[in-house]
């Protein structure tokens, strides 16, 4: 009896053990497959975004275009060009054979296309000065099909900014972004009307910021981009991935006349400042010292005994101008404006231009190897065409 009970207990125990082992091996096979590992757990950084979210964020900027594009307009201009007749046509002998009217001046109508951006519900449109320069008529066409004549509020050739005014209801207005925060590699979109084919969007990245010394305008601080910019894009919008305006497309570097991946846009921080002054005063008001300044190259730095190439050398002084009255001299090296160091000619011009006319400015100079300080009363910079 005892043997039978013992055998029965062993059979039950063995059956239960086999069952548990089967369950363990079936559901937890990895526990036995990991015998060869060294016990180290590998952790991977994996994306938590779904495929749908990733596509929306990286493969399409339709939302940004939808926000910005309605406020980007086409600008067409007309101007009458009077051409002088060839002087030979005024010869009496020539008139005798070909008629008296051959020597009269001839007129022709010249048209051009560009782009602009609506920045206010009041109807203000910002564009480039070179788009509307010398135009007799300016017409603005909205993407919704409306067309209206525009009035020129004012322009600034030195920054290539112009402001127009249109009278329409329910205007689409673009959101202004922060161009100061742009970094090389940020995605940007160029929206405009190249070649008159209709509104077009191109994409690229910020290639550089703070570009100057290009010889395009007096005041240069461009955003460089490889987004395709072509003739007709001038005055159009450069927007970020959120559809916010961060620049006004202005120029391209090209040997053929077409886009070669190097375009330049005026940062909105500069464009907004000039635009506000034009709206308030009809012109851009800037400070002026009455000097001509030049960059410091290694040879000049050595000859003037300078420790660095930062700053700007005064090469000429306007007689009876602010600098002349403050007893500045040709050869003086401007190293700081109101205590802030200047790095180049562009930097010096920009800092002085930001000072209100009739305000006093303190200049730190290097004169014959000695550091001196001079104060000058800034005048208004003369308008230059």
Closest CA to 243 of 196, 193, 187: 187
- How far apart are alpha carbons 177 and 247 in whole angstroms? 9
Rg (CA), the chain: 35
- How far apart are alpha carbons 329 and 316 in whole angstroms? 8
10: its two tokens: 């062993």
- How far apart are alpha carbons 247 and 268 in whole angstroms? 5
Helix (H, G, I), strand (E, B) or coil at 1: coil
234 has catalytic annotation = yes
User: Which residues lie closer than 8 Å to 98 by C-beta, 6 or more apart?
Assistant: 89
359 has catalytic annotation = no
- How far apart are alpha carbons 224 and 6 in whole angstroms? 91
Catalytic residue among 234, 259, 332, 347: 234
- How far apart are alpha carbons 284 and 265 in whole angstroms? 19
Say if residues 239 and 118 touch (Cβ distance below 8 Å): no
Say if residues 230 and 259 touch (Cβ distance below 8 Å): yes
Catalytic residue among 76, 112, 115, 130: 130
Instruction: Quote the DSSP letter at residue 282.
Output: S
- How far apart are alpha carbons 147 and 201 in whole angstroms? 21
169 has catalytic annotation = no
| Exposure of 105 in the CB half-sphere (CA atoms within 13 A) | 7
- How buried is 23 (Cβ within 10 angstroms: 0-12 exposed, 13-18 middle, 19+ buried)? exposed
Catalytic residue among 160, 226, 332, 347: 160
- How far apart are alpha carbons 2 and 307 in whole angstroms? 108
Say if residues 200 and 193 touch (Cβ distance below 8 Å): yes
Query: Which residues is 288 bridged to in the sheet?
Result: 379
- How buried is 377 (Cβ within 10 angstroms: 0-12 exposed, 13-18 middle, 19+ buried)? middle
Catalytic site positions: 130, 160, 234
């Amino acid at each position: 009896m005892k043997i039978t009970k013992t055998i029965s207990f062993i059979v039950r125990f063995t059956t239960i053990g086999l069952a548990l082992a089967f369950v363990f091996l079936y559901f937890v096979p990895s526990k036995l497959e990991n015998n060869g590992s060294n016990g180290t757990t590998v952790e991977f950084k994996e994306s938590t975004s779904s495929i749908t979210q990733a596509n929306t964020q990286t493969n399409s900027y339709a939302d940004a275009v939808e926000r910005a594009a309605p406020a980007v307009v086409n600008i067409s201009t007309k101007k009458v060009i009077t051409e002088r007749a060839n002087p030979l046509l005024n010869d009496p002998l020539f008139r005798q054979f070909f008629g008296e009217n051959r020597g009269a001046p001839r007129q022709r109508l010249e048209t051009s296309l560009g782009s602009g951006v609506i920045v206010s519900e009041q109807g203000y449109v910002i564009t480039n000065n070179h788009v509307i320069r010398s135009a007799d008529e300016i017409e603005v066409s909205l993407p919704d099909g409306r067309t209206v004549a525009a009035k020129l509020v004012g322009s600034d050739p030195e920054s290539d900014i112009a402001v127009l005014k249109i009278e329409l209801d329910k205007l689409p207005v673009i959101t202004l972004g922060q161009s100061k925060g742009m970094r090389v590699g940020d995605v940007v979109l160029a929206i405009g009307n190249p070649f008159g084919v209709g509104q077009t969007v191109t994409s690229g990245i910020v290639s550089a910021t703070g570009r100057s010394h290009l010889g395009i305008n007096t005041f240069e601080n461009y955003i460089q981009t490889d987004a395709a910019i072509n003739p007709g894009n001038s005055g159009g919008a450069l927007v970020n991935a959120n559809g916010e305006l961060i620049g006004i497309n202005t120029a391209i570097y090209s040997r053929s006349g077409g886009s070669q991946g190097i375009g330049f846009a005026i940062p909105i921080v500069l464009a907004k400042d000039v635009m506000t002054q034009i709206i308030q005063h009809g012109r851009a008001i800037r400070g002026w010292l009455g000097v001509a300044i030049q960059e410091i190259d290694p040879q000049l730095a050595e000859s003037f005994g300078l420790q660095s190439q930062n700053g700007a050398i005064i090469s000429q002084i306007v007689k009876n101008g602010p600098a002349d009255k403050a007893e500045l001299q040709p050869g003086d090296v401007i190293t700081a404006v109101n205590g802030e160091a200047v790095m180049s000619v562009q930097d010096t011009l920009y800092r002085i231009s930001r000072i209100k006319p009739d305000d006093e400015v303190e200049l730190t100079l290097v004169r014959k190897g000695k550091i001196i300080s001079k104060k000058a009363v800034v005048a208004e910079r003369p308008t230059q065409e």
